Structure 1
């Protein structure tokens, strides 16, 4: 279930209340006349089944409440109510299959910002991975993969492509490419620093490294794994299953590939640099492709389940 808290201009409250009442899957309607002060208006609250949430939120936006008032949506972790149970049963489809496109777009926009925190996390993850590849330590590689925040912009690109929002595509692409470029430059400097301290050396780059050699030897299996991980990651976002994102993070070698490319470049090992770069691009491309196809499939299946024609965007 979702909880909606709305601020509506007094002149539109009756229309909003009527809309909520006519939407299958809503319950627990509360109206507080004149309760809102900034902006001034009435406060309307209700609970709605997740599978009916996207349709209701879209209709509320057609009333311009996102501009003249407010639409706030929260997930309800626990609801002990027979009326809520009946509302969920009445709503068509399954809540686990429903996609809240406004929520997904908002989350993608937030995670696709080239912020200091994003770059810092990506740089630290890449440096950890650099230690992992130099020491041929798979545990460090897994830890670095879990720290990396790059799935946010990747999901942002897929969401923007499905919703036909070019500005968000470029915003997410900029965050992704600029973030990795900065992280790799910082990691190359980090590698030179540790070399100066005697902790890294060229022999470590040229060693066989059986546990991490796959990082700079891209093949079709790398793309297949990235493709499957993109599906899992997208499904975890649309169904709010955050645990699945951890599995995605430690299954794709984006951060380790960037780290190995940076370290190899610092030692002028261009063969490993190019191999790692291709590995990185293949993984990023596989995730974006599968994420976009997954969202399109979810949109199509949900429209079929509800018996409507899917609208673009």
Structure 2
């Protein structure tokens, strides 16, 4: 529920009150003495879904933007007419629960801090994320997401497009670009300092750190996070519910990958940064695309009906543009996903071959203890490089032909030859 406070310009009082009476809206009028331009202030409660159409109709009576309108939350309204008004406008779907276009613009503006604050908070978030990534600490990485100020620009671009506010759109896109660049740069600089001071081992293998390795070669599932974050963010802001947790989800799609990109650059591995950087970009664009589609579907339109056609064309162009770019990145991620799929199949086939060989009669005294497929460092499309097989057997015995057989049968499942290392471990039974 909302309580609207509207200043009434000179000569418009009758028209405004007739509009409210026609819609059977309860109101209170007080005389205004502070200015000759305004003769009264009207107060009236509205359901959330009624704010936008009622304000639009009132504006058609000649209320310009110089006259201020205040919309605030109302905890309780006791009125039979208000209940009837609610039943008229609310039908239980997301569209009827959404806040007005005017409130949406104000909310998007409020979620975006000033540029100095935005840059400082982004740097802090990126540094904390980098520390958490190097420590392989999920808790610290999550903490970095909480302080990231990314939700405002992420949603502002979509809001600015659908309500025909190009200033908000331009500002939000600028903030997004600055945020990505600042986050990666801050992460790289901090990682260089950490490495030069030997706070972490200089020869640290990034792929051995779980929080880092999973973002070096991202797959298509990453798109689900970004699209879900964009839709959830728009639904949260459009229905006036809390956006704090959604902001964490959006940051989850952007800050850790940016931190990984900075770390790989600090380690002098620019090719390894490709996957993480692509992940940042595709997530950012996917959030924008999901937000734009959701806002238009929910029913947000420009204030000026004459601008509706132009805005529709702009929305369509941006949806197509974002869709094409996201599709290109999705193909890239699909290639990584396919490479992971092939690696998984190879690992399964190789294990089955080893187990099949060891079931033969001459090798019944041997057993598979450990099996590991080591991937190469050609990020983000990693392929099997070595297969390490640890076999246990009776002491004092060896089967050199077993290594040759395993090497041959394992390499039958690869297009490129891989090195097969066979390690024997003596098993003593007492």
Normalised-by-shorter TM-score class: 0.7 to 0.9
Query: How far 1:81 sits from its partner (Å)?
Result: 4.1
SS of the residue 2:39 aligns to: strand
Answer 1 or 2: higher relative contact order, Cα 8 Å, separation at least 6: 1
SS of the residue 1:242 aligns to: coil
- Quick one: distance in 1 between partners of 2:146 and 2:272? 23
- Quick one: distance in 2 between partners of 1:268 and 1:262? 10
The residue that corresponds to 2:248 in the other structure is 249
Q: How does 1:54-65 map to 2 (within 5 A)?
A: 54-63=52-61, 65=63
Q: How does 1:146-161 map to 2 (within 5 A)?
A: 146-161=146-161
Cα pair 2:104 2:238 within 8 Å, conserved: yes
Q: How does 1:289-304 map to 2 (within 5 A)?
A: 289-299=289-299
1:264 equivalent in alignment to 2:256: no
Aligned pairs, number? 302
The residue that corresponds to 1:127 in the other structure is 127
Residues 103, 271 of structure 1: alpha-carbon distance in 2 compared, 3 angstrom cutoff: same
TM norm structure 2: 0.64
Query: How far 1:247 sits from its partner (Å)?
Result: 4.3
Query: How far 1:190 sits from its partner (Å)?
Result: 2.4
The residue that corresponds to 1:286 in the other structure is 286
Larger Rg: 2
TM norm structure 1: 0.86
The residue that corresponds to 2:217 in the other structure is 217
1:117 equivalent in alignment to 2:117: yes
Residues 94, 38 of structure 1: alpha-carbon distance in 2 compared, 3 angstrom cutoff: farther
Q: CA RMSD in A?
A: 2.7
More helix by share: 1
Query: How far 1:290 sits from its partner (Å)?
Result: 1.0
- Quick one: distance in 1 between partners of 2:246 and 2:164? 29
Q: How does 1:11-22 map to 2 (within 5 A)?
A: 11-22=11-22
SS of the residue 2:3 aligns to: strand
Show structure 2 runs of 5+ residues with no match: 302-306, 312-430
Cα pair 2:196 2:202 within 8 Å, conserved: no
The residue that corresponds to 1:138 in the other structure is 138
Cα pair 2:260 2:273 within 8 Å, conserved: yes
The residue that corresponds to 2:102 in the other structure is 102
Cα pair 1:39 1:69 within 8 Å, conserved: no
Cα deviations across residues 130-181 of structure 1 (Å, max 9, x unaligned)? 0111111111111212221212111111122223444432221101101221
Residues 68, 253 of structure 1: alpha-carbon distance in 2 compared, 3 angstrom cutoff: closer
Residues 201, 229 of structure 1: alpha-carbon distance in 2 compared, 3 angstrom cutoff: same
The residue that corresponds to 1:72 in the other structure is 70
Q: How does 1:23-102 map to 2 (within 5 A)?
A: 23=23, 26-27=25-26, 29-37=27-35, 40-63=38-61, 65-91=63-89, 93-94=91-92, 97-98=95-96, 99=98, 100-102=100-102
**Bigger shift: residues 278-287 or 85-94:** 85-94
Cα pair 1:108 1:159 within 8 Å, conserved: yes
Show structure 1 runs of 5+ residues with no match: 303-309
